[in-house]
Chains A and B, each alone.
Chain A
């Protein structure tokens, strides 16, 4: 072994020991991803399910009853049992007891029977705009399906002449966990590597061990690689943990190559560490490092496409988020995981990460030297 490799090994072993020596450190590696996995998979979903709905049926006819029955039968809705009057319904909406209030007027069945344009009113809680849009679309779909069936009964073949049959590729049942597993791998990797690079160097500064590193014959490159390698190692471990749990607990299928996926994780970690070291070279304490990391975390998650699609952003912002490593990582990992994205496509998102990593590492290496001066 050359002196270089030996010194590197010394640094890496030290880093791993600090993280893994006590039980608290070890649990910090396993508990947060587990917790997030459970939370995201069960609690925090973007799906609209079990929407609370009240139906005010002012009509006793068969058509209004049929529509009401269909809505009750839909898995997306929970319909309030008790019948309400108009003001009670409005109050329930104000108090957020229901998301939608459906009002069927007294002439609904008559108009439907005569085919003279029956209509129903949907009152919705605009404070939850996203859920309301989706839920309203569900109702509209149920109602238009009913209308089609009526038309079909009048003149067979006409009503069903044109219709859409949707099929969701890569995730046929739109199971939320399927998309959350690769996303979670990205986010945990982000957390992990930021923590290790920004925090651990700041901790060394705060406790004075950084000076010990600097007076020792380590070169800046060795110190940086000494932080880089353990972070990548642990991020890979975390990703495999999530991968394993995702497959075992949630049955998420893996369509692409496991090796390619791990490559993506490693390239992504690399790009984040550059930023983490940058933060740590401008702060003095761990507290400041947390603030710095947080300033990076929030926009990078918000502008990553994790919750809001990048395609919905204004054009200038879409161009700007090319600098957001998380955006590329999400595309690569979801791609490899769910649709067997070919290596060429992966590369399109991998090279910006490599560029970001090299630039930010070079920059923080430069700051490193400058701080010494």
Chain B
């Protein structure tokens, strides 16, 4: 143990009842004092468990952890006094105002009455909430709630700040602001542990602990991880539509490629070794800046998995370029509030269409109307020519739907879920058996067939959900943030399937917060305040915001800029 280590974790293990894998599996980690530490990993990696163990909300089975020399088993109350912990859902009282929430937490934290007013003003100014002092916390947006939570935690001037996924459910604009605030705190000498499943946030931390399945895969400055893949990331541009997916398929079959993904009109790959030649596709390969995700994949040993077994066994849809999903003047009003206004779009067979937008912009409402969960106030939504209102059963039987939150029957086993959902879509007898068997093989569900869905590891829950959505070979597949929180390998696997299903002619509509997912789409509609403010391919959207200052804007830049412009127009 080095002298300066602030947090020391040794051989920490914690298993939860009913879970197949331990949440933490002999974890070793050290954190220096001061600065921003990224606790990075997919959902279920053990981030929350580690944070809760550190401040004594959980007790480890084996191993030890100390914070500033204090033992987290015996001296948890002293650790809690010196640290601020912001759980994923911070306990704001929604029926109290911003000011009342602060007062309440000041009381709980024994902040002396005399210094309160000054402290409140300072924190409200810092979090940019001073305009909203008298607003009820329940009426704040997701981003503002997180800022208020941060302010409440900062009341007692802690030495250590533990933030559990503060950027979840927060749109990219608020995410940047929140990040700026916390960085400022860490610059002032506070030790901040920022847990996140967004790997792009890791790159910006002073140092990173990369968790995967309860183990420490990497710790140190992010640059050290990036250096592993330095010079191995290449991109090939100028591809459109289906061509991109076919090219990626070829590339992933190649020995020398360990990872590949679609970024708009680009295909980005990670080569096995520096300078190893790419044979499958000749062209103007250009070097790319590696990302933390590339490094993560490299640490995990690469993602290459060739072809989707799932798509291979699916029937080809006719190659007719027909319109499969169609919205005509789609409008939805809730009372006076117009959630979606006059939205029109067509999605042709085999395309991947993305709905993007901040929270509350109307993208979920649009999505729900398209798959028949909401009926439009006016306008029509049709699947393969069948209106969802007039012939709901015909339209619905052509839809596959995967919700954002895991929403299969948790009480039922994997096999029972597969049976139910195949039966729901009219499969029976031999075809039902065949499809169930296929899903079992393709998604590696065999060892889990009799396990309750509730007890599956997260990645397998997602796989099962996808399996249930595609078993009946739908014309249109609706995916609501399909890969939020899963590890990059599982995300690659998902997109492998989705890409190949599209090649086979399945039409896909997704909503997403992840810019990375948006890059896979053929077309994106950016929804803001109920209107479709911009649409086009990812590259077209990026081109809309390119300027002298920002020559190669990323998807997130385009998102923020286009929304900013819409706000300006409004004013």
Using a CB–CB cutoff of 8 Å, the interface residues on chain A facing chain B are 1, 3, 6-7, 9-11, 13-14, 17-18, 21-22, 25, 207-209, 211-219, 372-373
Contacts and interface: CB of A to CB of B under 8 A. Distances in A.
A217 B425 contact: yes
A211 B425 contact: no
Contact of B407 (A6, A17, A18, A211): A211
Nearest to B371: A215
A372 B403 CA distance: 17
B423 A9 contact: yes
A216 B424 contact: yes
Secondary structure of the A side of the interface? helix
Interface string B418-441: 011101111010000000000000
Residue picked from B396, B397, B478, most chain A C-beta under 10 Å: B396
Interface stretch (B115-123, B409-417, B521-529): B409-417
B372 A214 contact: yes
B412 A7 contact: no
Which 9 pairs between the two chains have the least Cβ-Cβ distance? A208-B407, A10-B423, A217-B397, A215-B401, A216-B424, A217-B396, A217-B393, A373-B375, A14-B420
A208 B372 contact: no
Given A6-B423, A22-B411, A214 B373 contact: yes
Nearest to A210: B407
B565 interface: no
A22 B375 CA distance: 37
B507 to A, nearest CB: 15
Secondary structure of the B side of the interface? loop
Nearest to A212: B407
Interface in B246-286: none
Residue picked from A14, A17, A216, most chain B C-beta under 10 Å: A216
A218 B408 CA distance: 16
Contact of B424 (A21, A25, A218): A218
B408 A209 contact: yes
Contacts of A211: 373, 401, 403, 407
Given A6-B426, A6-B428, A215 B409 contact: no
Contact of A373 (B374, B393, B409, B419): B374
10 contacts: A3-B426, A13-B420, A13-B423, A14-B420, A211-B403, A212-B401, A212-B403, A215-B399, A217-B425, A219-B392
Nearest to A25: B411
A217 B407 contact: no
A3 B424 CA distance: 10
Interface string B338-379: 000000000000000000000000000000000111110000
A216 B371 contact: no
A211 to B, nearest CB: 6
Residue picked from B392, B394, B405, most chain A C-beta under 10 Å: B392
Nearest to B413: A21
B407 A209 contact: yes
A199 to B, nearest CB: 13
Given A207-B407, A208-B407, A17 B374 contact: no
A212 to B, nearest CB: 6
Given A17-B412, A22-B411, A217-B425, A208 B401 contact: no
Residue picked from B409, B410, B468, most chain A C-beta under 10 Å: B409
Contacts of A209: 407-409
Residue picked from A9, A209, A373, most chain B C-beta under 10 Å: A209
B83 to A, nearest CB: 33
A223 to B, nearest CB: 11
Contacts of B478: 215
B424 A372 contact: no
B96 to A, nearest CB: 22
A10 B419 CA distance: 8
A221 B408 CA distance: 21
Interface of B: 371-375, 392-394, 396-397, 399, 401, 403, 405-413, 416, 419-421, 423-426, 428, 468, 478
Nearest to A371: B374
A208 B424 contact: no
Given A21-B412, A213-B424, A215-B373, 16 more contacts: A6-B426, A7-B424, A11-B424, A13-B420, A17-B412, A17-B416, A21-B416, A208-B403, A208-B407, A209-B407, A211-B401, A212-B407, A214-B372, A215-B371, A215-B372, A215-B396
B409 to A, nearest CB: 6
Contacts of A22: 411
Contacts of A372: 373-375
B405 A216 contact: no
Contact of A217 (B374, B375, B424): B424
A207 to B, nearest CB: 6
Contact of A21 (B396, B405, B411, B421): B411
Nearest to A370: B375
Contacts of B410: 207
Contacts of B407: 207-209, 211-212
A14 B409 contact: yes
B395 to A, nearest CB: 8
B203 to A, nearest CB: 33
A1 B423 CA distance: 13
Contacts of B375: 372-373
Given A9-B423, A217-B424, A212 B408 contact: yes
A6 B401 CA distance: 21
Contacts of B374: 372-373
A241 B555 CA distance: 64
Nearest to A216: B424
Contacts of B419: 10, 13
Contacts of B396: 215-217
A7 B373 contact: no
Nearest to A208: B407
A55 B110 CA distance: 65
Nearest to A372: B375
A151 to B, nearest CB: 74
Contacts of B372: 214-215
Contacts of A21: 411-413, 416
Contacts of B408: 209, 212
B425 A18 contact: no
Contacts of A25: 411
B416 A7 contact: no
A211 B410 CA distance: 14
Given A22-B411, A207-B410, A10 B393 contact: no
Contact of B411 (A18, A208, A213, A214): A18
Contacts of B405: 208
Residue picked from A13, A17, A21, A215, most chain B C-beta under 10 Å: A215
Contacts of A212: 401, 403, 407-408, 421, 468
A10 B372 CA distance: 21
Contacts of A14: 409, 412, 416, 420
Contacts of B423: 6-7, 9-10, 13
A219 B391 CA distance: 11
A93 B421 CA distance: 67
Contacts of B421: 212, 216
B411 A7 contact: no
B259 to A, nearest CB: 32
A210 to B, nearest CB: 8
Contacts of A7: 423-424, 426
Residue picked from A9, A213, A372, most chain B C-beta under 10 Å: A372
Contacts of A13: 419-420, 423
A7 B411 CA distance: 20
Residue picked from B393, B413, B424, most chain A C-beta under 10 Å: B424
A125 to B, nearest CB: 47
Nearest to A373: B375
A37 B106 CA distance: 54
Contacts of B412: 14, 17-18, 21
Contacts of A9: 423
A166 to B, nearest CB: 55
Contacts of A207: 407, 409-410
Nearest to A10: B423
